[in-house]
Amino acid sequence: MKDLNQVLKFLNKIPNINAGGCGISALTVYKWLKKNNSLSDDFAIIYLHFWDDGEVELNSKFLSGKSEKATACSHAIFRYNGKLYDSNGTTELDVRTVKQLVIKAEQIDMFMEASLSATTSWNSSFVRAQAIPLITKKVGVDLGLVQC
């Protein structure tokens, strides 16, 4: 794929990408930008939490080295060149957002592996077993240890 818009257009066609697959979508974009030497200085994955249910605290503890576990969020987006995106393209913070957690580029690989490995925490409407191999093949990125 030649540019970010092509990657997002492809990802957005995957069933339920924003209903259980948004973290994988954000990770895919990060890996694609990194592979193509196009990461912006401000790139970050942002976990939005619509409820104050302890998930943001668990994820914060993981990032600070105080927990070995990370979990899901309500919606994952990313910041690139000063704009917020999900697979739909540019976006804004959801009005339901109670808390947000910013995962900076240097923490993304470690954090996303732990968070996305918590498979029962993510919406099962997104069928990883079908989507991940397709994403890997079409976008040309290795999603690492993310479980199907």
| pTM strictly above 0.95 | no
pLDDT for position 147: 61
Between 54 and 46, residue with greater pLDDT:
46
pLDDT number for residue 145: 65
Supply angle C-alpha 112, 105, 5, rounded to 5: 85
Label residue 115 by pLDDT band (50, 70, 90).
very high
**Is the model's pLDDT at 148 over the cut of 60?**
no
DSSP labels, 40-55: -TT-EEEEEESS-SSH
Alpha-carbon separation of residue 18 from 42, 64, 74, 127 (angstroms): 23, 27, 10, 12
Give the containing element (helix H, strand E) for 75. strand 75-80
Sign of the CA dihedral running 20, 25, 30, 32: positive
Residue ranges per structural domain of the chain: 4-139
Q: What is the mean pLDDT of the chain?
A: 92
Residue scoring higher pLDDT (96 or 77): 77
- Give percent of the chain above pLDDT 70: 98
Mention every residue, 6+ apart, whose C-beta is less than 8 A from residue 135.
Answer: 11, 14, 24, 28, 141, 143
Q: Whose CA is closest to 116, among 146, 142, 144, 92?
A: 146
